[in-house]
Amino acid sequence: MLLPGTGSDDDYVYRAFSPALHDAGASVVAAVPAAGGLIAGYVACLDNAAAENPIVVGGVSIGAAVAVSWALAHPNRAVAVLAALPAWKGPPEGAAAALAARHSAQALRRDGLVAATAQMRASSPQWLADELTRSWVGQWPDLPGAMEEAADYVAPTSPELERLAVPMGVVGVVDDPVHPVEVAVEWVTAAPRAALQTVTLAEIGADPAALGAACLAALQDA
């Protein structure tokens, strides 16, 4: 079960992870961001997916944080964690991704979808602008609330990550200021059975599946 990042959607996270996971023989389900309750919707998807058998959980950015939190809370229902682009540990204060989400939410509320999307496109790589333009339209008008909810999420701390009972593969992007690779290193350092792979924005822009392949490679090293 895979959880999208803030403002992203099930379409992207499925395309990013499914090629590598299908090659490994896994069935892949991506959560659809729920209107009016992003985090609760993600948790419900995880609970439902693991109702009969333990599962591999994963996600991007806020999705990775929720996946790890769920695995910590349900050690007998998680098999492994795939964590791409972790954005912060513990409280979100000062984290670039949380600040960016709040800024985007404010722009969406103040200026509307069309104008805020134009602002986002002006400051983003072409591939990312195209992905977010599509996903933002699909999540409007609930998107600002989802962004604010994600920006308030308290991610696992180092002491909590030290209790993670399952292996974790982590991917950091070396040139992404919103998701500093240092956070990925901190997650891997804290967790008992974790490994890190790195990619660049250009690599995942050229092929989203590079993100999932790197994450699975890291898991195999954990």
Q: pLDDT digits over 34-72, tens only?
A: 888 999 999 999 999 999 999 999 999 999 999 999 999
CATH 3.40.50.1820 segments of the chain: 2-91+154-221
Q: What is the CATH number of domain 2-91+154-221?
A: 3.40.50.1820
Q: pLDDT digits over 180-190, tens only?
A: 999 999 999 99
Average pLDDT over residues 15-21: 98
Pairing mode of beta strands 55-60, 194-199: unpaired
Average pLDDT over residues 83-97: 97
Q: In which band, very low, low, confident or very high, does the pLDDT at 193 lie, cut at 50, 70 and 90?
A: very high
Dihedral over Cα of 98, 205, 25, 222: its sign: negative
Which bin fits 179, alpha (ψ -120 to 50), beta or left (φ > 0)?
beta
Q: pLDDT digits over 113-131, tens only?
A: 999 999 999 999 999 999 9
Name the one residue in this structure whose structure tokens are 């995942």.
204
Structure tokens at 67: 């996946």
Cα-Cα-Cα-Cα dihedral of 73, 45, 220, 155, to 10°? Answer: -50
Looking at the predicted structure, is the pLDDT value of residue 21 above 90?
yes
